Amino acid sequence: MLHIVKKDVPKTREKIIVRVLAVLAALAVASIIVVFAGANPIELYIGIFQGCFGTIHRFAATIVKMVPLLVLSLGVMIAFKMRFWNIGAEGQFLMGAVGTTLVVRSFPNLPLPIMLLTMVLVSFVFGAVWLMIPAFFKARYGTNETLFTLMLNYIALTLVTALQYDFWKDPAANGMPKIANLPNNALLPNVSGFNLSILMAVIIVLAMYYFMNRSKIGFEISVLGESENTARYIGINVTKTIMIAALISGGLCGIVGMMQITGVSGALSTEITGGLGFTAIIVAWLSGLKVPFVVLNSFAFAVLLQGASYIQTAFQIPGSVADMIQAIILFFILGSEFALQYRFVSDKTKSEVA
């Protein structure tokens, strides 16, 4: 019989080697699918690379894909640091976008800088409230935040559907169920594809790095996540800390909603999240809840996303094949985590040790 035994903490070098091997193995397995799809795997992988870095515009597209994922991952990271399982980033994202659209509809003629600032603020509040509701119930009544945040996703999605198909439906769209595009004074300015959200993301990353490592409340969140008993022991106000963490976590996810519709999609719709709120959970977790690794992993995911969309057009392969390649790589990387933390021991060797 084989037993699974926990290993010692792996060294950084071992971690890197195992992960690189995992990606290589994933590419090898994915090659089989690529061959069936009628393409040459090597050429295709080079194509992914070119699709991401080939021209300045493609690189800009990669970075623009990275930004929402990065900010969402930072958002869920804070909650996760506190062992508060916020899997409602999708909903907070959508609510942020709803808030943004509400600002534009209410004050359509604001000058661009004021418009952008107002939108950032309102989207932050919308996202934050969407997470502070479950946080309040968790802190006060001990409800399960996992289910609560998950279910709020569907409420947010249904709300957006209602807005899109009814309340905010654009009368000028010839009956198409869509919400009107944002006016120019509500769009993020951009330079050859690099839009202002990149700058915002840089600021958020720096702020979050400081917050997690150098701020009192960030420290309290870490302590609370590790042990509620210790938090109480050193006199941390548990309820207050949960609420603040939820404010920032949900708020960041809300801002992504603003970035996405003002910088990428141009209008609120049910499609804007593209499941990024869930991908962010994977990114945050793979990064060990550390800001620098969140940046790195968000970039890696953005490369996969951008590469996938490029090879669809360049190689005429179906989008589902690109998705499968992505999924296989992810699967292998997640699987390699197991190899990093555990090893197999047979009964025989175990009894010899004992």
Partner 1 sequence: MALSAIFSKGESMNNDYVVKMENITKVFGKVKALDHVEFSLKKGEVHAILGENGAGKSSLMNVLNGIYMPDEGQIEVKGQAVNISSPKIALDLGIGMLPQHYKLVDVFSALENVAAGSRKTSPFLNKKKILDEMGKLIAQLGMDINPNKKVYEMSVAEKQSLEIFKVLYRGADILILDEPTAVLTPQEIKNLFKIVRKMVETGCSVIIITHKLEEVMEISDRITIMRKGTTIQTVNKEETTPQELAGMMVGDVMELNVPYVAVERGKKCLEVKNITAIDRNKVHILDHVSFDLYAGEILGVAGIAGSGQKELCEGIAGLYHIKSGEIIFEGENIVGKNPEKISQMGISLSFVPEDRLGMGLVSSMDIIDNVLLKDYRNTKGMGISRVVSRDKAEALVERLNVSTPAIENHAVSLLSGGNIQKVLLGREIELEPKLMVTAYATRGLDVGSSQIIYELLNEQKVKMKPIMYVGEDLDVLMGLCDRIMVLCEGRVTGIVDPRKTTKEAIGLMMSGVMSEGEETCSIS
Q: How far apart are CA 290 and CA 122, in angstroms?
A: 27
Please, which residue, 197 or 249, has the CB nearer to partner 1?
249
Q: How far apart are CA 345 and CA 209, in angstroms?
A: 40
Nearest approach in angstroms of CB 150 to partner 1 is: 22
Please, which residue, 167 or 216, has the CB nearer to partner 1?
216
| Burial of residue 230 (number of CB atoms within 10 Å: 0-12, 13-18, 19+) | exposed
Q: Cβ(45)–Cβ(27) under 8 Å?
A: yes
Nearest approach in angstroms of CB 233 to partner 1 is: 5
Which residues of this chain interact with partner 1, rule CB under 8 A? Answer: 210, 214-217, 219, 222-223, 226-227, 229-230, 232-237, 354
Please, which residue, 106 or 213, has the CB nearer to partner 1?
213
Nearest approach in angstroms of CB 284 to partner 1 is: 17
Q: Cβ(289)–Cβ(81) under 8 Å?
A: yes
Please, which residue, 232 or 343, has the CB nearer to partner 1?
232
Nearest approach in angstroms of CB 227 to partner 1 is: 6
Q: How far apart are CA 271 and CA 286, in angstroms?
A: 26
Nearest approach in angstroms of CB 222 to partner 1 is: 8
Nearest approach in angstroms of CB 217 to partner 1 is: 7
Length of the chain: 354
| Closest by CA position to 209, among listed 63, 84, 81, 122 | 81
Strand partners, 150: none
Helix (H, G, I), strand (E, B) or coil at 195: strand
Q: How far apart are CA 269 and CA 202, in angstroms?
A: 26
Please, which residue, 176 or 354, has the CB nearer to partner 1?
354
Q: Cβ(33)–Cβ(321) under 8 Å?
A: yes
Please, which residue, 13 or 216, has the CB nearer to partner 1?
216
Nearest approach in angstroms of CB 36 to partner 1 is: 41
Q: How far apart are CA 203 and CA 25, in angstroms?
A: 36
Helix (H, G, I), strand (E, B) or coil at 5: strand
Please, which residue, 68 or 225, has the CB nearer to partner 1?
225
Structure tokens, 21? 């091997």
